[in-house]
Amino acid sequence: MAVVQEEPSIAVPSHPEEIKSIFELRVGKHITLQGSARITPAGVISTGIAVAAMALALGYLASSLRRRGR
């Protein structure tokens, strides 16, 4: 017996609270860049935590370099 798998519809988001953005950037007369992005609320929170951790680490590094230079 063969099992037929149906592909999910493109119009149905994979997450109910998914945030989607589509943009188009024109540069001059002949260049057009198109793009899209998707993110979930959990992705926004994870990105914020990652950025905060990197900022904390860079701040610690900058302060240790100032102390070392004296």
Residue 6: CA count within 13 A, CB half-sphere: 3
Q: What is the pTM of this model?
A: 0.55
pLDDT at 7 over 80: no
Question: What is the DSSP secondary structure assignment for residue 3, as one 8-state letter?
Answer: P
Q: Kindly report, residue by residue over 34-69, the tens digit of the pLDDT.
A: 999 988 999 999 999 999 999 999 999 999 888 776
Q: If you search the block for the tokens 């002949």, which residue do you land on?
A: 30
Pick the more confident residue, 66 or 7. 66
pLDDT at 4 over 70: no
| Whole-number pLDDT of residue 18 | 86
Residues 6+ apart with CB under 8 A from 33: 24, 25, 26, 27
- Would you call 33 helix, strand, or coil by DSSP? strand
Question: Residues 38, 20: contact at Cβ < 8 Å?
Answer: yes
